[in-house]
Amino acid sequence: MTGLVVTLATVGLFSWYALHQIAGLKDLQTRLVDRNRRDSLQLLRIQNNLHSLGLAMRDMVNGDEPYGIQAYQGQFRRTRADLEDALRLEKELALVERSPERQAYFSQSLTQFWTSVDQMFSLAARGNDAQARDLIRRSLEPQQAAIVSNVAGLLGQNNEAEARAAARIQNIYAGVEHNVYYFLGAALVAIALTSLYLIRSNRQLFDRLALLSGQRSDLARKLISMQEEVLRSISRELHDEFGQILTAIGAMLARAAKHDAPPAFRESLQEVREVTQSTLEKTRSLYQSLHPAILDDGGLEQALAWYLPVFQKQTGIQVQYQKTGASSVVADGIAIHVYRVVQEALNNLAKHSQSGQAWVRMDFSHDRLHLEVEDHGIGLREEKLAGIRRGIGMVAMRERAALLRGKIEFLRPAEGGTLVRLDVPLSAGTKE
């Protein structure tokens, strides 16, 4: 947590610094560079208008055109309006601080220029073109040249300001670049130290988890083995003790029924025999469900051949059994777990699938046993298929697969429903 806090604090501080520098750079570019460039464009506009007036005055002085000076009055009026608009915008955009004297001189020069222009057109209007041309040569052209020179000086100042701003931006870029390197170095050191600590902590944690997992697996194996021993013992007791006792009672009642006795007594004996026979059948069903003796006597295939019809009769679900491959001798330690997986899978199917049909497939190939139990019912939810929420039955099936050094999967077939697939070796035996 300390390493995380330090790393996050470092990233946060550097991010704030970088954002602050970027904001300052953006402001500098907007406030100085972009604005200065727009101001220079207005100065160029002013300069272009002044040059246009200079060319017009040159034509007026030469007198080469067939029309007189008065014909230029419209051009001067349009140029003056555009020039005044450019001067207004330039004054709003100007960043270079100009002295009041220079600003007053610039304004005075323009005022004097337009006053002289008005005088020139007034003389031309009265037919004094020669005096008007003389006024242009003596007054207007020098004034226009002075104003153009002034505008050129302002452009030079803007260029100098832009160069200084570019230098400041370059310095900011260089500073940010150096700080990025410093930050990356510090971040790498912090990440390396934090990662080393996390690796050490995770290794200790994983060692503890591995130990606990091993202990849990050992406990699960012992519990499953103990459960099977207990069920086997109870099944044997029910078969050897209660089954034989009930069989003996049934035989004694049969012999007693052969003796002469009143009809009422004989009817009572018959009722007792029926109750005894029913109890014997229930006892047989109970010890067969706890641990089928046929599994020990006939093996896995005979146990499944006995169990599947019983399951089908009890639940009404049609079970199709299919075996492929050459049958192999399945050790008792493997057979009981495979049998329990089939039993648990079919019980889950009967409880949850809402399917009327099931398929049990067993394949022997290459010293391995492949088992599939499939239905096309509603199927398991996604979290159960992913193993996020598992019932005790699914956990037990996984533990039995682990005991056999095998693999079990809970899948969803293309047709829907659930597919339980078990794959175990036949030669390795169970884990001790």
Q: Is residue 244 part of a domain?
A: no
Indicate whether 263 belongs to any domain: no
The verdict on 35 and 164 lying in the same domain is yes
Cα 44 to Cα 173: distance, rounded to the nearest angstrom: 30
Q: Are residues 191 and 328 part of one domain?
A: no
On whether the CB atoms of residues 339 and 304 are closer than 8 A, the answer is yes
Look at residues 174, 195, 216 and tell me which one is the last residue of a structural domain. 195
- Domain span at residue 54 reads 2-195
Asked if 68 contacts 59 with a C-beta cutoff of 8 angstroms, the reply is no
What would the pLDDT profile of 98-138 be if each residue is shown by its tens digit?
Answer: 666 777 777 888 889 899 999 988 988 888 888 888 998 88
Whether 351 maps to a domain, the answer reads: yes
Indicate whether 22 and 139 sit together in one domain: yes
pLDDT digits (tens, 9 = 90+) for 322-378: 999 887 778 888 888 898 899 899 998 898 888 889 999 999 887 889 999 999 888
Is there a domain that residue 71 lies in? yes
Please give the DSSP secondary-structure letter assigned to residue 322: E
Of 141, 174, 195, which closes a domain?
A: 195
What is residue 388's predicted lDDT score, i.e. its pLDDT?
A: 46
128 and 13 belong to one structural domain: yes
Give a yes or no: residue 202 inside a domain: no
> Is residue 363 assigned to a domain?
yes
pLDDT per residue as tens digits for the range 200-223: 888 999 999 888 877 776 777 677
Q: What is the rounded CA–CA span in Å between residue 72 and residue 83? A: 16
Largest Cα separation within the chain, whole Å, is 171
Partners of 361 in the β-ladder: 322, 372
Q: Pick the last residue of a domain from 141, 160, 195.
A: 195
- Separation between Cα atoms, residue 80 and residue 69, nearest integer Å: 17
31 and 151 in a single domain? The answer is: yes
DSSP 424: E
CATH number at residue 383: 3.30.565.10
Distance between CA atoms of residues 408 and 406, nearest Å: 7
Q: Can you give the CATH number for the domain in which 36 is found?
A: 1.20.120.1730
Which residues of the chain have a pLDDT value below 50?
388
- DSSP H or E run through 411: strand 407-411
Closest alpha carbon to 68 in 113, 133, 134 = 133
Number of structural domains in the chain: 2
- Is the residue at 223 inside a domain? no
- Judge if 22 and 141 occupy the same domain: yes
pLDDT of residue 423: 93
Q: From CA 49, how far away is CA 381, in angstroms rounded?
A: 81
Give the pLDDT confidence score for residue 223 in this predicted structure. Answer: 74
Per the domain annotation, does 232 fall within a domain? no
154 shares a domain with 21: yes
Co-location of 33 and 146 in the same domain:
yes
